[in-house]
Chain A
Amino acid sequence: MKVKMLSRNPDSYVRETKLDLQRVPRNYDPTLHPFEVPREYVRALNATKLERVFAKPFLASLDGHRDGVSCLAKHPKSLATVLSGACDGEVRIWNLTKRKCIRVIQAHEGFVRGICTRFCGTSFFTVGDDKTVKQWKMDGPSYGEEEEPLHTILGKTVYTGIDHHWKEAVFATCGQQVDIWDEQRTSPICSMTWGFDSISSVKFNPIETFLLGSCASDRNIVLYDMRQATPLKKVILDMRTNTICWNPMEAFIFTAANEDYNLYTFDMRALDTPVMIHMDHVSAVLDVDYSPTGKDFVSASFDKSIRIFPVDKSRSREVYHTKRMQHVICVKWTSDSKYIMCGSDEMNIRLWKANASEKLGVLTSREKAATDYNQRLKEKFQHHPHIKRISRHRHLPKSIYSQIQEQRIMKEARRRKELNRIKHSKPGSVQRVSEKKKRVVAVVK
């Protein structure tokens, strides 16, 4: 009797070395795998739910300051090092891996208004209410030495902010005017003004490094060119801008944190209309910082929360708050784009994950593949109502929640009034102005 045997080519199932992966024969015939859309939908739903389950963004609180934290600075070369200045003139240097303070300096009398590190990471600068600019060594004093600044510059007026050039030994301070200093000199090499109000912050453009942006208390944002030693343009907004931050990947884009609860992203070549208005905060926005990837930014607000916005979205994707966190004064996104730090009124610096549900540490390749797949599924089905609802759901403190409701009502009322005005006036006599244009009062050349 002849017996028929199944025979297979050993090449199709024998691996060459034992280190190779076992070949798993798969049949991708779509008829064998039906219901692809419902199955993927369920997977997406589960992924979204799990994302919310694992969303535990708070990592650590660095406590040690004896007054509100007024400014933060990143170390340009070391991810683990963070500098912070407090309202009592104290500067602390922290080690994030140990979550400990490694150095304390009594830098100023009164507030430390601004702090910035040199691009090489060997020293840092502070400005304070005592009208001084001080340069400090990044390393602590060696044995037997006293804690002393490398240089001290005594100015005529109070400096309210400082920023260092990204490539050269130049730094800029602001106060009555924007001064640009050479590190070697005791007088500014250039100083620029436009208007007479005090300037609250100045920032160098990280890409085209000769550009500066500043914001003053007379509601304007002024751009300067350091090489031509002249201001370029000024835009006046509805309310005062507290700080600005340049996008580190797009040379002409910056975002302004405004007192009117909103953030405005501008293209500096076309200041008459903001590229995007980011709204979600319910109180003044005090600080803003871009992620090093240039895709998101984080904002700190007086409403005791920080929010993360994608640059191209007007609504935030994430809000972080804790019961004990008071008005957040300063915020920074770490240079590896994984963490966020915020300093608040109640003397603490908090460390958050930039991506709330991300698993920290090394991922195996399978884990990575799974997270990527889940991420893509969430993106694919993001418009489906259930998934949208779950992914958008956040718990908010009652104060913020009620304020949001209130704001919504106010906004709706304003809109209705405008519509009514248009309806009851002669056609064409009342022009509708877009929301973006409304916020810009004027652009001064």
Chain B
Amino acid sequence: MSSSRAAESSLLALNQQEELEDLPREYPLSTSEDEGDSDGERKHQKLLEAISSLDGKNRRKLAERSEASLKVSEFSVSSEGSGEKLVLSDLLEPVKTSSSLAAVKKQLNRVKSKKTVELPLHREEIERIHREVAFNKTSQVLSKWDPVVQKNRQAEQLVFPLSKQQSIFAPIEHVVSGWKARTPLEQEIFNLLHKNKQPVTDPLLTPMEKASLKAMSLEEVKMRRAELQRARALQSYYEARARREKKIKSKKYHKLLKKGKAKQALKEFEKLRKVNPAAALEELEKLEKARMMERMSLKHQNSGKWAKSKAVMAKYDLEARQAMQEQLARNKELMQKIQVASESAEEEGGVEEEGEPFVPDVVNEVQVKADRPNPWMFRNHSGDTKEAEVQGDPEELAEPAAQEAPESEEEGPVVAEEILLKEFEERRSLRQKSGLNQIAKPVGSQEAKDLSSQEVLSELRALSQKLNRESHQSRKQELSSTRTVLAVQREEPAGEEEEPLLLQRPERARTLDELEELGKEGCFQNKELPRVVVEGQQLERNPSNHLGVPKEKKRKEQMIDLQNLLTTKSPSMKSLAVPTTVEELEDEERDQRQMIKEAFAGDDVIRDFLKEKREAVEASKPKDVDLTLPGWGEWGGVGLKPSAKKRRRFLVKAPEGPPRKDKNLPNVILNEKRNIHAVAHQVRMLPYPFTHHQQFERTIQTPIGSTWNTQRSFQKLTMPKVVTKPGHIIKPIKAEDVGYRSSSRSDLSVVQRNPKRLSIRHKKQLKKNSVD
């Protein structure tokens, strides 16, 4: 009984568990047990009964009722003692066996059928199985790389690094912010910097500037920055300039500077006078004061030390004299009382104007000299002067410079003689120069050929001018000169015309020749092919008939002919002295031969061989080399061919080679192509990746250089197989690089997921180690 109880309880527990598993999680185990509501109770009861009814005894026991009870069993109907009434519907339900019962039965059967558990495998065996499974799994994982590896191995070009790196820009402030001053020196420096509120990180901007920058928009910031930069640049530029100017020692420079400043001041004063008279007056007062000061001082008098020394020197030295004069002028200027500004300005202008005529002649001369060597300038002048001549200014002839021209116009009547003299002088100087420079083309380019004649002309002209102001002669001269020029010009085109004629004539002739030649060639070319064909035919028919071949060949062909005869005619030979039976036999043989002949009617082996040999001989013969370059020295292009003469000239006739080694061997072709010297450079074995010699030859024969290929294809052909970027780290290939999804699980997490087993393992290992 107790054993059955135990079984029951265990089964109950089992069933309960099953139920629990079926139940959703919201119902915890405790509530269903503790509450014990009527529904649960009933179910429980039912189950108990079901189980107890499994063996027959119990069922019967339950069926009989010993005393009144509230418990109602479905197997035994009882209406007594119970408050419930029997309802008809209950009776209508079919009596069926519960499904749970069958399941339990099955389970029991299974438990009964199970035998003893086998012994676990040996540890090593288990490990081996583990390893094998793991290896298979890993190989599967690895095999996903197969296509990638294949692709990379066969790739035309691999560019490393495979993944493009984005460069990260970190502002220097951020980089430095993590850094701290540690050494006493550093700390001291930092303290100093902080005290002065100097920017520690970015040396360009102070915190104030930074704040202002932050307050502005980007464009404003940019503008402001640019402004700042400009201001700084300007400042530094001016500083540098000031420094530089300060350093200049030249007195002349400073003098000029002062003068310039004075002029500037004057100009400003003028402006001021117009705009603001009051301020101008003030200025005037200042000037007055300066004048007074000057008067008081002896600064610009002759009494100074410097002035005295200059006065001594002035006799001999032009500069000193000038300097003195300048000083005096300045003195005068300063001492002058300024009454009305406008007047003074006029006066100044007058002084300037007056100053001009006193410029010495030599200066002008220098100017002219300076001008002369420049042919461009000079030509213009000459043109001008010519125009002037045409207009009717006879004195002015060739040379005078543009600046001089007006002057001379003004002074012409007064100092004509002087000018003439001057001109002569100039000429002389010019001549001297022209001897050196060879640029002097006094009048027009056409007259430049004859220098001496020109000189004579000019002198003549000068004389005539002196005598007679009218320029008839000179004009004549001009005319004559122009006439001569015209003549020359006329001649030149004639010459030019002649030249082409001269040149062209032979060419034309040549072209005619060419045409003829071309025609001939055409004929030749047209003839050549058929002739070859005819030759072949003739050879086949009767080689001995052939005419246009060298003797040797003829002889050979004769020999070949003999052979031919021997081979072809032998079967048809007949001798009368042979008996008839043999003849019959022969007939049979002949029939057979006939048959064979008919069978192999198409292929004549011997003739083929002979033909082959003939071709080989032809091919081995040295060929003439045609070195004509089409278009060289004549027109070239499509449809044009170099002339026959030229071709004849550049055709290098090949020398007669040594006799062939197989000349006297009718059945042999000896290849004489093999070049011993070239063998050392030739590949003997077909290299590995190639399977046929033609493949290899083709790869060798296709050139890859830019001489034979366009730029694009050259680049493509010479593309390097592996390209690396200098200074870039090449990382191992990643799954993401080739478009695979990399495993999201980290290796570490996987290892740590089953640490228990590992730790046990480890312990064992350690133990073993310690034992060992």
> What residues make up the interface of A, taking CB atoms closer than 8 Å to B?
1, 26, 28, 30, 33, 36-37, 39-41, 43, 76-77, 79, 142-144, 156-157, 165-170, 176-177, 180, 182, 188-191, 193, 196, 206-211, 225-233, 248-253, 268-269, 292-295, 335-338, 362, 369, 372-373, 375-377, 380-381, 383-386, 445
Assembly CA distance A157 to B766 (angstroms):
11
Shortest CB-to-CB span from A388 to chain B, Å, is: 9
Contact, CB under 8 Å: B145 / A251:
yes
Contact, CB under 8 Å: B704 / A377:
yes
Shortest CB-to-CB span from A34 to chain B, Å, is: 10
Contact, CB under 8 Å: A229 / B683:
no
Residues of B within 8 A of A79 (CB): 727, 729
Which listed residue, B128, B682, B704, B751, touches A190 by the CB 8 Å rule? B751
Contact, CB under 8 Å: B746 / A232:
no
Given A176-B769, A251-B145, A269-B142, answer yes or no on A292-B732 (Cβ-Cβ < 8 Å): yes
Assembly CA distance A294 to B162 (angstroms):
12
Contact, CB under 8 Å: A43 / B758:
no
Contact, CB under 8 Å: A293 / B729:
no
Shortest CB-to-CB span from A311 to chain B, Å, is: 9
Assembly CA distance A142 to B742 (angstroms):
39
CB-defined interface of B511-523 with A at 8 Å, one 1/0 digit per residue? 0000000000000
B90 at the interface (CB under 8 A from A): no
Residues of B within 8 A of A169 (CB): 748
Report the count of interface residues on B (CB-CB < 8 A): 74
Contact, CB under 8 Å: B751 / A227:
yes
Residues of B within 8 A of A362 (CB): 726
Assembly CA distance A288 to B386 (angstroms):
94
CB-defined interface of B717-733 with A at 8 Å, one 1/0 digit per residue? 11110101111111111
What are 25 A-B pairs at a CB distance below 8 A? Answer: A37-B703, A156-B766, A157-B769, A165-B747, A167-B746, A170-B751, A189-B751, A189-B755, A208-B141, A208-B142, A209-B747, A211-B138, A230-B127, A230-B131, A248-B731, A253-B149, A269-B142, A269-B143, A292-B729, A292-B731, A336-B724, A369-B715, A372-B719, A373-B704, A373-B714
Shortest CB-to-CB span from A140 to chain B, Å, is: 13
Given A40-B704, A230-B130, answer yes or no on A207-B145 (Cβ-Cβ < 8 Å): yes
Contact, CB under 8 Å: B724 / A293:
yes
Nearest residue (CB) in A for B703 is A36
B695 at the interface (CB under 8 A from A): no
Contact, CB under 8 Å: B131 / A231:
yes
Which listed residue, B681, B719, B729, touches A41 by the CB 8 Å rule? B681
Contact, CB under 8 Å: B726 / A336:
yes
Q: Which stretch from B273-281, B531-539, B705-713 is at the chain A interface?
A: B705-713
B403 at the interface (CB under 8 A from A): no
Given A165-B747, A293-B722, A380-B704, answer yes or no on A28-B729 (Cβ-Cβ < 8 Å): no
Top 4 nearest A-B pairs (CB, nearest first) are A292-B730, A206-B732, A248-B732, A36-B703
Shortest CB-to-CB span from B154 to chain A, Å, is: 12
Assembly CA distance A383 to B690 (angstroms):
12
Shortest CB-to-CB span from B321 to chain A, Å, is: 57
Given A228-B137, A293-B724, answer yes or no on A384-B681 (Cβ-Cβ < 8 Å): yes
Which of A37, A166, A208, A362 has the most chain B CB atoms closer than 10 A to its own CB? A208
Nearest residue (CB) in B for A231 is B131
> What residues make up the interface of B, taking CB atoms closer than 8 Å to A?
127-128, 130-132, 134-135, 137-139, 141-143, 145, 149, 152, 158, 160, 182-183, 497, 500, 680-684, 687, 699-701, 703-710, 714-715, 717-720, 722, 724-735, 746-748, 750-752, 754-755, 757-758, 761-762, 765-766, 769, 772
Contact, CB under 8 Å: B705 / A40:
yes
Residues of B within 8 A of A191 (CB): 758, 761-762, 765
Residues of A within 8 A of B720 (CB): 372, 375
Shortest CB-to-CB span from A212 to chain B, Å, is: 10
Residues of A within 8 A of B152 (CB): 249-250, 294
Contact, CB under 8 Å: A336 / B708:
no
Contact, CB under 8 Å: A168 / B748:
yes
Which listed residue, A189, A196, A225, touches B752 by the CB 8 Å rule? A189
Nearest residue (CB) in A for B697 is A37
Shortest CB-to-CB span from A376 to chain B, Å, is: 5
Shortest CB-to-CB span from A218 to chain B, Å, is: 15
Shortest CB-to-CB span from B537 to chain A, Å, is: 33
Contact, CB under 8 Å: A295 / B722:
yes
Residues of B within 8 A of A293 (CB): 158, 160, 722, 724, 730
Assembly CA distance A189 to B757 (angstroms):
11
Residues of B within 8 A of A226 (CB): 747, 750-751
Nearest residue (CB) in B for A312 is B153
Given A143-B182, A230-B130, A252-B145, answer yes or no on A383-B687 (Cβ-Cβ < 8 Å): yes
Residues of A within 8 A of B769 (CB): 156-157, 176-177
Residues of B within 8 A of A211 (CB): 138
Shortest CB-to-CB span from A350 to chain B, Å, is: 21
Assembly CA distance A33 to B704 (angstroms):
13
Residues of A within 8 A of B758 (CB): 189-191, 229
Residues of A within 8 A of B725 (CB): 336
Given contacts A143-B182, A190-B751, 6 further A-B contacts (CB under 8 A): A37-B701, A248-B730, A269-B142, A336-B724, A372-B719, A380-B704
Residues of A within 8 A of B728 (CB): 336
Given A142-B182, A193-B765, A380-B699, answer yes or no on A227-B717 (Cβ-Cβ < 8 Å): no
Residues of A within 8 A of B141 (CB): 208
Residues of A within 8 A of B735 (CB): 207
Contact, CB under 8 Å: B134 / A373:
no
Residues of B within 8 A of A337 (CB): 160, 724, 730
Assembly CA distance A293 to B717 (angstroms):
22
Assembly CA distance A376 to B183 (angstroms):
58
Contact, CB under 8 Å: A380 / B700:
yes
